[in-house]
Amino acid sequence: MKTPRYFCEHCGAEVKANARICPKCGRFFSAVKCPKCGFVGESEDFRAGCPVCGYALGSNNGAPEPIRPAPESTSLPLWAWALGFVVFIIALVLLLRAIK
């Protein structure tokens, strides 16, 4: 039996089964979500396909369907927050200098 393949829900890049962050887009995920029924669980729960609906159990000539990791949140990656914070601080400093 072939093992399921995992993909980032945001950018579609293939990720390792135990990945917690997408190597391409930097999004975090902590669980796996079945794309058919929406069940969310640990990757170990999906070793033989979705435990609720059976998705990925060989509906494609015996080959398992891809299972996509569920995102931990839909917020921006950490680097985007850090960049926004730096820009905010610079703007605040420039504004304070202009007021003086």
How do the pLDDT tens digits run along the chain, 100 residues long? 456 677 777 777 888 877 778 888 888 776 677 777 878 777 777 777 788 887 765 555 445 556 666 666 666 788 888 999 999 999 999 999 999 7
Q: What is the pTM of this model?
A: 0.39
Residue 70 lies in a domain: yes
Please spell the DSSP secondary structure of the chain, one letter per residue.
-PPPPEE-TTT--EE-TT-SB-TTT--BEEEEE-TTT--EE-GGGGBTB-TTT-TTSSTBTTBPPPBEEEES-SSPPHHHHHHHHHHHHHHHHHHHHHH-
Residue 89 lies in a domain: no
Segments forming the whole domain that contains residue 44: 6-74
Residue 25 lies in a domain: yes
Residue 27 lies in a domain: yes
Q: How many domains would you assign to the chain?
A: 1
